[in-house]
Amino acid sequence: MNLNRRRILQLGLTAAAASVPSPLQAGESPGAAAAPPGNGADAEHVGVLNDTTLCIGCRECEAACNRRNHLPRTAAPFSDRDVLRTFRRPSATAFTVVNQFQGSPSPDQAALQQTYCKVQCMHCLNPSCVSACIVGAMTKAPDGSVVYNPTICLGCRYCQVACPFEVPAYEFDEPLVPRVRKCELCTDRAKGTGANPACAASCPTEALVFGRRADLVAMARERVTRRPDRYVDHIYGEHEVGGTSWMYLTGRPVQEVGLLPLPTTPPPERTEAIQHGIFKYGIIPVTFYGLLAGIMWVTHRKHPEDHPGIGEMSDHAPRASQDEEVRR
């Protein structure tokens, strides 16, 4: 059998294609697909309802979060409200921040009062950061919170890119053991006693209410129904990107208080469907082997004398021996 490099590659490509599972596995009907995770919250998932109409911008939540997570001391005291004038995002040294938004004229009211809005990790029901993490450093805990394990993190920062709320922050000033930093909803709350997260426990106006997510949704709907003049009829986080454990009630459109307008479909539903399709039908290995075969074919055509086949080498071997005998 005349075996050359081209034939070997052809055989390898055939074997790779044969190993790819058929679109219709045993018992699988056409078009069947696994149900995407995270479309509904578990009955025991917890969360926080942030009623921005009750927030007074005192920054007690920031101070409590700083103490609870042993974050670095700030240059200015948390009683300093001047920082509220500049829009801020959570960082590696501040897991939650409060922003101030000035009032603006409204057709229904003479003037909207200034609004304060706290931001932090939203703890999505179907988290993009968990889906993007290639080593499982980001995981979803049984209570619904999204937690991070720095001991296995590679520092790729895919979670930063994937997060639709732009929350995870990276410790760029830590050259040896940098971590991804964010709110973890105080997941080890008093060793499982069910105590409130530090921010919610410190809120003097009860603008932050901690509890089961299902109960918080019911509470928010009841408030909107009872005071339609006070609230926009929209629970932010109930459906955004598939739902989040942190939800908001506002007295003005969410875009006016720094909350991003996002679709209801969780990004992992799209990205994971693409990834699973690629690997399920062997697109990557087939493409890879096909590319190698193409490169070898083109190279062999340009320089056939430099790439003799296995069979060709066998044919020329006796002639070389005869020539050698003549020279002797």
Lowest mean pLDDT among 51-65, 176-190, 195-209, 279-293: 279-293
- Predicted local confidence at residue 198, as pLDDT: 95
| Nearest in space to 184 (alpha carbons), one of 68, 87, 262, 98 | 68
Domains of the chain: 46-266 (3.30.70.20)
Q: What is the pLDDT of residues 125-158, one digit of tens each?
A: 999 999 999 999 999 999 999 999 999 999 999 9
Residue 261 has pLDDT above 50, yes or no: yes
| Nearest in space to 181 (alpha carbons), one of 148, 136, 135 | 148
Residue 42 has pLDDT above 70, yes or no: yes
Lowest mean pLDDT among 85-89, 109-113, 179-183, 310-314: 310-314
State pTM to two decimals: 0.71
Average pLDDT, the chain: 80
% of the chain residues with pLDDT over 90: 57
- Predicted local confidence at residue 302, as pLDDT: 67
**3-state SS, residue 122:** coil
d(CA 160, CA 169): 7
**Residue 49, beta-bridge partner list:** 209, 247
Contact 126/39 with Cβ under 8 angstroms?
A: yes
Strand-strand pairing, 208-212 and 46-51: antiparallel
**Residue 116, beta-bridge partner list:** 100
Q: How confident is the model at residue 103 (pLDDT cuts 50, 70, 90)?
A: confident
Q: 86 φ, ψ to 5°? A: -110, 130
- The mean pLDDT value for 57-69 works out to 96
Contact 261/239 with Cβ under 8 angstroms?
A: no
